[in-house]
Homo-oligomer: A and B are copies of this chain.
Amino acid sequence: MTNKGGISASPLPKAGNVQQPVSNSRLKIACSNCNLRELCLPVNLSMGEIRQLDAISHLKRSYVRGDYLYRSGGKFQSLYAIYRGSFKTQVLHEDGREQVTGFQMIGEIIGLDAICTEHHACDAVALENSEVCELPFNKLEALSRELPSLQRHLHKIMSREIVRDQGIMLLLGSMRAEERLAVFLLSLSQRFAARGLSPTQFQLRMSRQEIGSYLGLKLETVSRAFSHFQNSGLISVHTRSVELIDLPGLRAFIGKQH
């Protein structure tokens, strides 16, 4: 539970967008008992402050694919930092319609939806074997009253979520099917890169149906878009393993008419 390396040994990147790759070993150093990537890495907390943060967080049990981290309507108590694996969040409409609102991967914070009503507004479901670190929100609030840099960082995380959602609104409101998939793949690529993983080769942890739900498309449309990208030489895809062959080509695809 003690911080072995200490952040001061290797200066952290500036607060703000996390663009640069970060090695896994660095991640381990950054936080002792769990991988609070979003929460720890970009913010200038001292070793002592990191320890305070560790003190209020618990490593939680594992989840397997399909397990619920929390359910819509459930009482809100904590945020969760994903320590291993990945999750999806989905909202349900009374008429049975459901929509995936996001995919969360290692180092990301999940649970921000629930603060306003004290009850969760969506389900969070594990996409694979996963572990999370629980952050009791009232303790986090109390600590952030003492640590302005933690407070500011918490605000940034929430604001980033708002900006991210607005990007998806743009995607859903004004992009064609293949543009949406290109944006999705490039966004995954960036997030893998930021974790020191390959930005061009990765496994999808979600089904075509889940991707389609997230992108406002039917699974068949997603499948066709994948095939089209493959036939155009932009990507290589076999079921859930993807290789991005032509990143600039994919980027150029966005905004192109027809």
Which A residues fall within an 8 A CB radius of B? 16-17, 91, 93-95, 97, 99, 101, 112-118, 121-122, 141-142, 144-146, 148, 151-152, 154-163, 165-170, 172-174, 213-216, 254-255
Contacts and interface: CB of A to CB of B under 8 A. Distances in A.
Nearest to A167: B91
Q: Which 3 A-B pairs have the closest CB atoms?
A: A173-B216, A115-B159, A95-B255
Contact of A158 (B114, B145, B162): B162
A215 to B, nearest CB: 7
B162 A113 contact: yes
Contact of A16 (B117, B161, B167, B254): B117
A133 to B, nearest CB: 20
A172 B173 CA distance: 6
How many identical subunits does the complex contain? 2
Contact of A165 (B152, B162, B213): B162
Contacts of A16: 116-118
A233 B146 CA distance: 57
A38 to B, nearest CB: 11
A76 to B, nearest CB: 9
Contacts of A122: 166
